[in-house]
Chains A and B, each alone.
Chain A
Amino acid sequence: DTAVSQTPKYLVTQMGNDKSIKCEQNLGHDTMYWYKQDSKKFLKIMFSYNNKELIINETVPNRFSPKSPDKAHLNLHINSLELGDSAVYFCASSQDFQNQPQHFGDGTRLSIL
């Protein structure tokens, strides 16, 4: 059973399009995250939700909008895609926001043409 699952695994699309990435966790965790990993493997947090409430919002263009319909799901919608958005996007979850380690999905590889 996959603990943190993301769809789709691969996303190839044209510049200017709008796309969404979905994430679900079946671990019963309260906190979920979105990370961006660039071509040099640097992993940087974008957003975090705790019990459906936004608690971390890093300096991310407002073209990126997370949505948490319930605490098991955190989706990422991206408007007007740009070439620089090409990266691997990882979803993660943790028991709570305080001290617990994070568990990651296998990523969504986004390529902008």
Chain B
Amino acid sequence: QKEVEQDPGPLSVPEGAIVSLNCTYSNSAFQYFMWYRQYSRKGPELLMYTYSSGNKEDGRFTAQVDKSSKYISLFIRDSQPSDSATYLCAMRGNEKLTFGTGTRLTIIP
């Protein structure tokens, strides 16, 4: 079993829809949780960084962490074509950062 599981998609939604992206994990030592966005032929770009369980909001993006269920989510409100990218969850305890496999998202105008 992988330490971090992420649905690879692809996921296509119409512009303006709410998008929900999810990851589950098995390592209880993970304490720090991140979401990265990766455009084609670019490096991963940090979107959200959270430590505790609960919600963190930044503009149209909301990151949610449920440590008891070992489950994290990223919500995108009012999705735009420019949100089309691969979204990678990442998490760590005291050592290396472990990534999910990424979800490819397409927003249809």
Binding site for B on A (CB under 8 A): 4, 40-45, 48, 56, 58, 90, 92, 98-99, 101-107, 109
Contact = CB atoms under 8 A, between A and B. Distances in A.
Interface string B33-51: 0101010011111100101
Contacts, number: 48
B43 A104 contact: yes
List of 8 A-B pairs having minimum Cβ-Cβ separation, nearest first? A104-B43, A43-B99, A41-B102, A106-B43, A101-B49, A104-B44, A45-B96, A101-B46
Interface of B: 8, 32, 34, 36, 38, 41-46, 49, 51, 86, 88, 94-97, 99, 101-102, 104
12 contacts: A41-B88, A41-B101, A43-B44, A43-B99, A45-B96, A56-B95, A56-B96, A58-B96, A98-B94, A101-B34, A102-B97, A106-B41
